[in-house]
């Protein structure tokens, strides 16, 4: 599989699709995110924003499709013990700040959901399985995607690019489908000021809130959907 020094595109004279294009319309999973080279991570920014990867070579430019769902995993700090009182990190909180600073703010800003997952204890392994199985969750996700496909099929004008999910909605279309009710709009405006959301972050909150409403089967984006979407934004370590 041709992957160049940047980890995303082939580095030869003739451009070839790299990992992000090979994952088009699928999932690109990056484990131990801060361990990737900085140029590799920065090369993800344009494709995550536009859904296209452009490779510049001496003999011209080539653009590949690159609409992916990025899933990344990382420890809170290099040693991984930041939140473990039994194995306390001796350099906290600087260890976490240094480790997480390897990922630029603009790349973090393009990641919609930031979820802390605590370590699984040995005692947890004997607990009964959750009542909600993966199959139940998958069915709920499929219903939400069906809602979105039908929505954009009705709204997309002939000759325009096909839109399948909320992640692809932008501009006036996003404002039309994801405009929250008045209490939600007030919360988003206040949070945007307090959290210093970028314009990109503001619109990404709207997309996530619209998706949460779809998962719930709600026609409107309510305050609770905005609140949950905001809770997924990155918490800066200081």
What is the pLDDT confidence band of residue 42, given thresholds at 50, 70 and 90? very high
Residue 197 or 121, more confident? 197
pLDDT at 85: 66
pLDDT at 150: 96
Residue 175 or 121, more confident? 175
Residue 3 or 120, more confident? 120
pLDDT at 72: 96
Tokens of 9: 């595109």
**Which stretch, 61-65, 169-173, 225-229, has highest mean pLDDT?**
225-229
List pLDDT tens digits, range 59-105.
778 899 999 999 999 988 887 767 766 676 777 777 888 888 889 99
Q: Who contacts 25 (Cβ-Cβ below 8 Å, separation ≥6)?
A: 65, 67, 68
pLDDT at 236: 55
Average pLDDT over residues 30-43: 93
Average pLDDT over residues 115-122: 85
Separation between Cα atoms, residue 184 and residue 227, nearest integer Å: 8
- For the chain, the average pLDDT equals 87
pLDDT at 86: 65
Pinpoint the residues of the chain covered by CATH 3.40.50.300.
19-111
Separation between Cα atoms, residue 82 and residue 68, nearest integer Å: 31
Residue 238 predicted with pLDDT over 50:
no
Separation between Cα atoms, residue 209 and residue 113, nearest integer Å: 11
What is the pLDDT confidence band of residue 172, given thresholds at 50, 70 and 90? very high
Residue 229's CB: how many other CB atoms inside 10 A?
Answer: 27
Residue 119's CB: how many other CB atoms inside 10 A?
Answer: 9
Residue 212 predicted with pLDDT over 50:
yes
What is the pLDDT confidence band of residue 154, given thresholds at 50, 70 and 90? very high
Residue 147 predicted with pLDDT over 70:
yes
pLDDT at 41: 93
Select from 3.40.50.300, 1.10.10.10, 3.30.499.10, 1.10.3720.10 the CATH code of 19-111: 3.40.50.300
């Amino acid at each position: 599989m041709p992957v160049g020094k940047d980890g995303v595109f082939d580095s030869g004279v003739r451009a070839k699709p790299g990992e992000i294009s090979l994952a088009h319309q699928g999932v690109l999973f990056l484990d131990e995110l801060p361990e990737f080279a900085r140029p590799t991570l920065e090369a993800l920014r344009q494709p995550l924003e536009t859904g296209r990867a452009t490779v510049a070579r001496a003999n011209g430019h080539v653009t590949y499709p690159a609409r992916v769902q990025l899933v990344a995993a990382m420890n809170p700090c290099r040693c991984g013990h930041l939140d473990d009182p039994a194995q306390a990190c001796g350099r906290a909180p600087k260890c976490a700040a240094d480790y997480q600073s390897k990922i630029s703010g603009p790349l973090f800003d393009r990641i919609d959901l930031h979820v802390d997952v605590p370590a699984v204890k040995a005692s947890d392994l004997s607990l009964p399985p959750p009542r909600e199985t993966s199959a139940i969750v998958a069915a709920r996700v499929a219903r939400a995607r069906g809602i979105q496909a039908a929505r954009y099929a009705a709204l997309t004008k002939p000759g325009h690019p096909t839109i399948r999910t909320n992640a692809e909605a932008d501009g006036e279309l996003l404002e039309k489908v994801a405009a929250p009710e008045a209490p939600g709009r007030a919360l988003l405006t206040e949070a945007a000021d307090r959290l210093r959301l970028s314009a990109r972050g503001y619109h990404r909150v709207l997309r996530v809130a619209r998706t949460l409403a779809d998962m719930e089967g709600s026609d409107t984006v309510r305050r609770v959907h905005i609140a949950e979407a905001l809770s997924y934004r990155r918490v800066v370590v200081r």
